[in-house]
Amino acid sequence: MNIKLIEKIQKLLALSESSNKHEAQLSMLKAQELLAKHKLSINEIKEFKACNTAIKEQESKISFTKATKWKASLSQVIADNFGCYRFFMTRNTHTIITFFGREEDIAVCNIVMEYAVDWINSAVKKLKYQYSKSGCSTKGLENDYGIGFIAGVKEKFEQQKNANPEWGLVLYKNVFSGTYRSLRQR
């Protein structure tokens, strides 16, 4: 849908509630004309208004180094399943995960990402203690555990999607995919 057209129709519908009789009539007629011309319904316009929110980018609190690349994979799985894109901002010694999408979706991605990383770190800490207590090497444990966790989460998301097709989860990535592509070309 053309966002500018929908915003124009929304403004006309708002003007149709004007106290000026002629202004209200003209705006209703113009709104009806545009709706008919572009084969849109009032419900589509109202629904678009409900889900049209600001598209932003926000750095998460999570960063990674070469040793913890599993965080990059985890961020991709989370972004794909919560309606966002993700990209990286490189600093001196680490890379920061940045989510791009609707404000609400970014907030959810950041919360889920932080929770998952905390959970993995906690589980790895316990495993390292057990391994070192029994004299086993802990080299690569965090990376291996992270990769296994990601594979499990990815599989669970797929099962959830397949088990609940009636949810009709529509991700709004298409609305801002052009903006995302232009960011990647910087």
Residues 134-146 pLDDT 10s: 999 989 899 999 9
- pLDDT for position 50: 54
In this prediction, the residues of the chain whose per-residue pLDDT falls under 70 are: 1-2, 49-54, 67, 166-186
Tell me what pLDDT residue 167 has. 57
Q: How far is CA 104 from CA 52, 78, 83, in A?
A: 11, 14, 10
Residue with tokens 């979706």: 105
Q: Supply the angle between the helices 3-15 and 42-51 in degrees, to the nearest 10.
A: 110
What stretch of H or E contains 4? helix 3-15
The pTM for the full model equals 0.63
Backbone φ, ψ for residue 109 (5° rounding): -55, -45
The per-residue pLDDT for 129 is: 95
Counting residues of the chain whose pLDDT is more than 90, the rounded percentage is 26
Q: What is the dihedral of CA 120, 125, 128, 134, to 10 degrees?
A: -120
Q: What is the Cα–Cα distance from 137 to 117, expressed in whole angstroms?
A: 22
**Quick one: 58 exposed, middle or buried, by C-beta within 10 A (0-12, 13-18, 19+)?**
middle
pLDDT of residue 171: 46
